Amino acid sequence: MKNLLRKLIKVLYVVIVPIMAIWSASWYYVAMGPDSHAFLVVCMVAVLACLSSFLCTIYMNKVKVLPKITLEFVPMLGFAIGIDDVSYKKKSVVMLLPFILIEFEV
């Protein structure tokens, strides 16, 4: 549960906050125009939100949101999806396409 909370916090600060800040700045530009001083403040807040997301990325570098993906060339034909649990610590989902093996480490 603790790791899931860290992942959610990282997604919130690294993805959602910058997108919402840029969206709100562009919405304010369309609605009110670039003539007001408030637009300058909204743009500065959007830039600070993007900077804070960059800093959160640096400080939360050990929290992995996306799985590790490996691609391999294999001389096989076929389609398959399976679970590879050779090690009890690392489980992975394997997808076999013609001549390509895609492995998602969970």
pTM (global) more than 0.75? no
Q: What is the pLDDT of residue 48?
A: 93
Q: By residue range, what is the domain housing residue 76? A: 68-105
Place of tokens 């959160």: 56
Q: What is the chain's pLDDT, residue by residue, as a tens digit (106 residues)?
A: 778 888 888 889 889 999 999 999 899 888 888 777 888 888 899 999 999 999 888 888 888 888 888 899 988 888 989 887 776 677 888 898 998 989 888 7
**CB neighbours of 73 closer than 8 A, spacing ≥ 6?**
99, 100, 101
Among candidate residues 22, 41, 59, the one where a domain is terminated: 59
Tell whether 14 and 41 lie within a shared domain.
yes
Give the length of the chain: 106
If asked whether residues 37 and 76 sit together in one domain, one would say no
Number of structural domains (the chain) is: 2
